[in-house]
Every structure is written in C-alpha cells, then in structure tokens.
Amino acid sequence: MSNLNIYGHGKLLITGEYLVMEGAEALAVPLQRGQRFVVKSARGADLQWTSLRPDGTIWFQGLFSLLDFTAQESTDDAIADRLTDILTAVTRQNPDFLSDWKGQKVESSLEFAPEWGLGTSSTLIHAIAEWGEVDAWTLYEQTFGGSGYDLACAMADGPIIYKATDEEIHMTPVGLDWPFRDQLFLVYSGQKTNSREAVDKHASVLKKAGKEVETVSAITQQVADAESLDEFIGLLTDHNTLLSGLLRETANPWAPSFPGLIKPLGAWGGDFFLAASPEDPKDIRKWLNGNGFDTCFGWKELVLEDE
C-alpha cells in the first residue's frame, strides 16, 4: 500500500447547540486547524499508532494486533479501547481492511490542543473511514454517535447550515459575508464539557422542544444573513435566552461583565465561546486576555471560509 495522507478540519457550532439533535437547522463552521493522518507500511505484523500535539510531543501511543485490533501496549487504555472499537467497526463494513496482516504505522498530528474540543474525534472518524474505504456516517453512528455536524465539518470547505433527521442529512454551504467579522472572537473557556453527557442530561426536555426547534432554525437562517453587528448580537441574544429557559442554565458563566455578547459554542459550560462586541478589536482582545482568556482567536484566524 502506498502512503496515505488524510486531513480533517476541526469544527465549531455557532447556532443550534442541543437542538441540532432534534432536527434544528444549525450554523456550523469548519476550522483552519484540524488533524492530519499519515499511514505508512511498516515492518512486522502490528499496527503502530502515534498521536502528536501541535508542538510535536506525543499525547497517545499504542501498538495494536492486526488480528483483533486489541492493544498490546498503550499510553492510555481508554483511547486504546476506543481505537479498537473503531477499527473493529471498520471491518464490519469492509472485511478486507488490513486483512493481509502487513504492518502499518499511523501518525496523527493535531493542530489544536486535544482538550479544546475542536474535533479530535470527528477528524479521527473521517480519516479512518477514508483509510478503511467505508462510509464515514455509518462508522460515526456505530462508534461516537451524535448529530454529525462535527463530521460534516471535518470534510467541509466552508461554513454550512446543517440539519439531520431520522431520514436524511442536509449540508448546505453558506457564505458568511458578515462585514463585522473583525468584531468576533472565538475563545477557549478553560473548561471541558462532555457533549454526550450534556445532551443526555437534558434529553427529556429536548424531546419536547418542537416549537424551540422551529425558532432556532429560523434564527440560524437569520444569523447567516445578518448584515450588521447589532442584528447579529440581537439574534444570538435571543438564541441564548431561548436555550437558557429551556435548559435552565446560564449562557455566560465565564465573563458576565464582558462589554458585548458571550455565546456558548456547543455544550454549555465548557470548551469554546463566541465573544462579539462593538468595541475596537484590539480592546476586545485586551479585555479577554486581561480576564484570563489566553486562548483567543479572531474569526478570520480560525474559521475556514470558502473563497
């Protein structure tokens, strides 16, 4: 087998968190940062796996049997077990996957810290599906599950409006010609949230949220078409208010004195949030950094936009 070089984009969910699971239209953006996978032939009859952080240090390493993909050695048992499950699921779709028992070496390189929640898992599924020549959506459902917007972003070329129902998935490319993008910052909260646990916590409420699903879908379309920062902030304030009432949680536990809008991106309480303000961009960044938010990207620094 010749070497494979596969890339998947990271992701952020601008609108539709939680309710995207119930069929709401959501605005999702792929990122300029993602994860690259290089697969090479290797000596022996094992699968060698190394995952690197952006600085080149190892954050996972494992040696797997090609017989049943069990880990013979690993630096993290939970990650090793997850890889075993994914690789086993690939063989259910493609029984010929690695059936020649020839050694393989995989090196994955993250372009963001794994704790940031920007798509370590979804880029992994995208890459393994391409490597194994199987359907990525089926593999995703059999392993991680979820709405699938993150997997859509892994392979997208620009922002999309995403909608998933029991019957089908819709991914509509959308150009975000916002003249106020310099006023938008994407900020790591410093806290990690498990999206699956967050959705499960509110499952009973979300199942009954028919009216809210329609409202959020309408807000998503309006946000994509927003022509001014005031309109954008107003729409996302309405989005925050709706979700806050539904979930009975505060949208902004991090920076209540911020001079503008704070909007969670994904499960509430952790990972990244959006900060939008009419203040000078330099002052916005200075405020965020001065209040302990050191990982802070301008919209154009992080979001992949299809030119």
DSSP 51-110: EE-TTS-EEEEEEEETTT--EEEES-HHHHHHHHHHHHHHHHH-TTTTTT---EEEEEEE
pLDDT digits (tens, 9 = 90+) for 209-237: 889 999 999 999 999 999 999 999 999 99
pTM: 0.95
Q: How confident is the model at residue 167 (pLDDT cuts 50, 70, 90)?
A: confident
Structural domain spans, the chain:
4-172, 175-302
Give the distance from CA 94 to its chain's centroid: 26
Task: Judge contact between 106 and 48, C-beta under 8 A.
Answer: yes
Across 257-266, average pLDDT: 97
Across 140-151, average pLDDT: 95
Across 36-53, average pLDDT: 96
Is it true that 4-172 and 175-302 share their CATH fold? no
The whole-number pLDDT of residue 2 equals 62
The whole-number pLDDT of residue 79 equals 97
Domain 4-172, CATH among 1.10.275.10, 3.40.50.2000, 3.60.21.10, 3.30.230.10? 3.30.230.10
- Distances in Å between the Cα of 281 and the Cα atoms of 181, 263, 286, 287, 298 are 10, 17, 8, 10, 9
Average pLDDT, the chain: 95
Across 287-297, average pLDDT: 97
DSSP string, 245-271: HHHTS-S-SS-TT-SSEEEE-SSTTSS
Class of domain 175-302: alpha beta
